Structure 1
Amino acid sequence: MTSFDEILAASTARGTNIVPGCVLAAVDKTGNKFYSKAAGYDSVLPNSPRINPHGTFWLASCSKLIGTIAALQCVDRGQIKLDEPVERVIPELASLQIIEPVRPGNMTTGDVFTLRPATKKITLRHLLCHTSGISYDMFHPLLMAWRTSRQEEPLMLSGKLVEAYATPLLFEPGDGWTYGGGIDWAGELAARLNELPLEHYCQKYIFGPLNLNSTTFRLGDHPYIKEQLVSTSERAKDGTLKPAARLWPDESQEDCAGGGLYSSSNDYMKILGDLLSDEPTLLTRWTVEGMFQPQLENGSRAVKDLEAATIFGAMTSIRASDGGINWGLGGLYTEKDAGSIRKGSLVWGGLPNLVWFVNREHGLAGLYASQMLPPGDPQSGKLANEFMNHIWRVAGKA
């Protein structure tokens, strides 16, 4: 029987066209990082060095876990409640309208959308659970049509916050599920409540307390982090690999909690480990336990929207047919075993094929980190699943 280490070595060998390189890590509830390995190369270029085990990655949507923690810290302090409307802190969200097609099912002729006032208020829970109605403009044809009507380009990957995510809503807040910039707004809420830019807030209340030295929204302020960045690669249509540019601007205009962070596997594992701890540093234990609870009502439109979304498969390699999925606070929540992800886990990922999970019941968390495009790359997903199954075996919990 082929061992995982043999699979990993074969998958990351130079010239295989499987993956150029990745960094893998797993931690238990005592903070012991019992698995840590860097495999393969920094890029697909023939003279590329081995991937740096301390290399830094554009986290993309893995940033959302940290943005969620920042907002929940404000709940712990009593600065805001989960089910409180956020418009007193973020007035930009007070009057967003709902966008609807003029002719349902027909986006090809004449005026394609209409706008109407929303009747419900957006709460912090809505932002954290993607039930606010805020979606990414590049993900939805109605929002693309809205951008076109304003003679604007899509701004999802622009590094802007207010301009990018103050878009019309796809439904009344709380009435559905759609992936978007809600956690970017939640991070902005934490910044405004504490009168600090989000970078400074996170350095003071998240990165500093956990001694994270390789995590930032602002590469220009941290040359070491920028120098350690792992190169990005892309799979061409013929299956071969080629160098690629990062999709996020190096110097973004705003600190975007939904996708703007850079970090190393060592730093990120300290965050996952803190969520496992019986005495967490960043949040109260009660709040951490609340993160691992399903937030969407069974049988609701929100659950159906989540099950129908293709994004969670790209982010987690979980198939929709596995079922038993919901949303927690910080990531997808598994109500039963789903492939390599065990019941009771929070799990999510990042666009360049990063995946993380945390399971408090079994005291286990793991991270698969790469910089590989496109999102949901099948070869990357297969290797990430092999890794997760492996660490369950190593931990004696398979």
Structure 2
Amino acid sequence: MSSVLDNACKRAVSPGTERLLAGMTLAAAGGINDEKLEKEDFLAAYGTFQLDASSEPFTTKTPMWFASMTKFVTSVAVLQCIDRDLFGLESPSDVDRLLPEWSQPQILTGFEDGQPKLQKARGKITAGRLISHTSGLAYDFHPGLLLQWRQSRGEGPRAMRGTIPDVFTTPLLFEPGTGWAYGPGHDVAGLMVARANNCTLEEYMRENIFDVLGMDDTTFEPRAHNGVAARLPPMVGRPLPDEPLSDETASLNNTRNLMLDHKDQYGSGGLFSTAEDYLKLLKSILRNDGRILRPETVDTLFTSTMSPSSDVALNTTLTNPAMAAAMIPGEPMVGSPGTGHWTHSLLGLISLTAKEGGLQAGWTQWGGAPNLKWWIDRKGNSCGIFATQLSPPGEKRHQQITHFFQQEMATRYGRS
């Protein structure tokens, strides 16, 4: 590790009013280099569980709530089922068969005299549209039509507060395949996986992903599996950008508690894991080793699934400062100086712009609400994860750490 990265990480967790993080873990790996050799994985941890410097140290085996990092794993599970002919990627009939609650969707077009205006969708939901956020489903906690629809029914946001069929059979916001909206598609797709295999999503992933790769600390059931819940660090928060960190102001605590005592196994945000565990999955996909997916299937994970109108909708979403901060933390907001263009695959966001001194155009990434982030750069031959438990999502002051980390790993593992 270079002194630049090491010193930046040490400063970030140094006690005092300028402390950026309580604790963090970094893990990265390369693919096969030009000499067909594998360089050693990079693993590092800094800081402590609490802001109290005498509390337990963070390690690369520290479990955390991984939130939307779950989506990567659910996408892999969906593609496994497609490989096994359990359902098709773009088959509406399989949605009708396995997800009848979503077989006849309606589109919310607006309101008249306070009442929602609904029309029958002409298009159909498919597994591929669910995991690329182009199905028309959206979360009900974002300001907009769907939150207004909830309020018209005398309800507040219900995402993650019941079973998947109970809380996510909401109207669509657009015709399937024609737009883009961040939403619960992976929750519904995870239910599709569970029903196709007549088991829970946890049981499916443990047999077909976690046990195969040795991901022993990854689970939807942290209170029941391997003592994960008892080993979780608390969430810390920065209430305002210029205020110091606090153990008492972590706004994500309530959401994490919903995941600890969940009503269902949410394929979009329900997993708890460690940096070491998650790196095993990233490596398998980067190296296309055939352990969990067919090599040709892995290629499809990195191919844009977007229609022209969906692509426009995605990049329009990324002009919103709040959405950009959460979805592409540390990257220029679309429409600002230095911005790039983004598209979306079955796995995550694809940047069509190279990072100076770092990742190459075509790198793929996603993150998790407590300021976690993963990436895979197939051209540049690296993958990695930055993990912490920090609120709010998209907190800006620590983002330079992830930039240094990615830049150094791109150099460490890059092909000669």
Name the counterpart of 1:181.
184
Name the counterpart of 2:317.
309
- Partner residue of 2:305 out of 290, 295, 302: 295
- Partner residue of 2:363 out of 345, 360, 364: 345
Q: Which residue identity lines up with residue 392 of structure 2 in the other structure?
A: P
Deviates more, 1:227-236 or 1:245-254: 245-254
| Residues 1:273 and 2:276 aligned together | no
Shift in Å, 1:292: 0.9
SS of residue in 2 equivalent to 1:78: coil
Shift in Å, 1:240: 1.3
- Partner residue of 1:166 out of 166, 169, 172: 169
Pairwise mapping of residues 216-235 of structure 1 onto structure 2 (< 5 A)? 216-235=219-238
| Residues 1:26 and 2:44 aligned together | no
- Partner residue of 1:263 out of 255, 270, 273: 273
The separation in 2 between residues aligned to 1:281 and 1:87, in whole angstroms, is: 31
Structure 2 CA distance for partners of 1:76 and 1:358, relative to 1, 3 Å: same
Structure 2 CA distance for partners of 1:323 and 1:396, relative to 1, 3 Å: closer
Q: Which residue identity lines up with residue 172 of structure 1 in the other structure?
A: E
Name the counterpart of 1:82.
89
The separation in 2 between residues aligned to 1:277 and 1:397, in whole angstroms, is: 13
The separation in 1 between residues aligned to 2:191 and 2:13, in whole angstroms, is: 39
Structure 2 residue ranges without an equivalent (≥5) = 33-37
The separation in 2 between residues aligned to 1:255 and 1:33, in whole angstroms, is: 34
Deviates more, 1:128-137 or 1:306-315: 306-315
**Percent identity between the two aligned chains:** 31
- Please, what TM-score do these two structures have when normalized by structure 1? 0.93
SS of residue in 2 equivalent to 1:151: coil
Shift in Å, 1:223: 4.8
The separation in 2 between residues aligned to 1:165 and 1:379, in whole angstroms, is: 34
Name the counterpart of 1:324.
341
Q: Deviations over 1:182-214 (max 9, x none)?
A: 011111111111111111111111111111110
Deviates more, 1:273-282 or 1:237-246: 237-246
Structure 2 CA distance for partners of 1:129 and 1:278, relative to 1, 3 Å: closer
CA contact (8 A) 2:381 2:410 kept: no
Name the counterpart of 2:103.
94
- Partner residue of 1:240 out of 241, 244, 247: 244
SS of residue in 2 equivalent to 1:87: helix
Name the counterpart of 2:35.
none
Structure 1 residue ranges without an equivalent (≥5) = 104-109
The separation in 1 between residues aligned to 2:325 and 2:302, in whole angstroms, is: 20
- Partner residue of 1:111 out of 96, 111, 114: 114
Shift in Å, 1:375: 0.5
Shift in Å, 1:33: 4.7
CA contact (8 A) 2:288 2:298 kept: no
CA contact (8 A) 1:20 1:41 kept: yes
The separation in 1 between residues aligned to 2:77 and 2:289, in whole angstroms, is: 18
Shift in Å, 1:329: 1.2
Q: Which residue identity lines up with residue 28 of structure 1 in the other structure?
A: G
Shift in Å, 1:46: 5.2
- Partner residue of 1:254 out of 264, 270, 281: 264
Q: Deviations over 1:110-137 (max 9, x none)?
A: 4163111111111111101100000000
CA contact (8 A) 1:25 1:33 kept: no
SS of residue in 2 equivalent to 1:126: helix
What stretches of structure 1 move > 6 A for 4+ residues in a row?
A: none
Q: Which residue identity lines up with residue 157 of structure 2 in the other structure?
A: P
SS of residue in 2 equivalent to 1:129: coil
The separation in 2 between residues aligned to 1:157 and 1:239, in whole angstroms, is: 30
| Residues 1:63 and 2:70 aligned together | yes
Name the counterpart of 1:106.
none
Aligned length: 390
SS of residue in 2 equivalent to 1:206: helix
Shift in Å, 1:84: 0.6
SS of residue in 2 equivalent to 1:61: helix
Name the counterpart of 1:48.
55
Deviates more, 1:110-119 or 1:200-209: 110-119
SS of residue in 2 equivalent to 1:273: helix
Structure 2 CA distance for partners of 1:33 and 1:42, relative to 1, 3 Å: farther
The separation in 2 between residues aligned to 1:295 and 1:338, in whole angstroms, is: 23
Structure 2 CA distance for partners of 1:278 and 1:201, relative to 1, 3 Å: closer
- Please, what TM-score do these two structures have when normalized by structure 2? 0.89
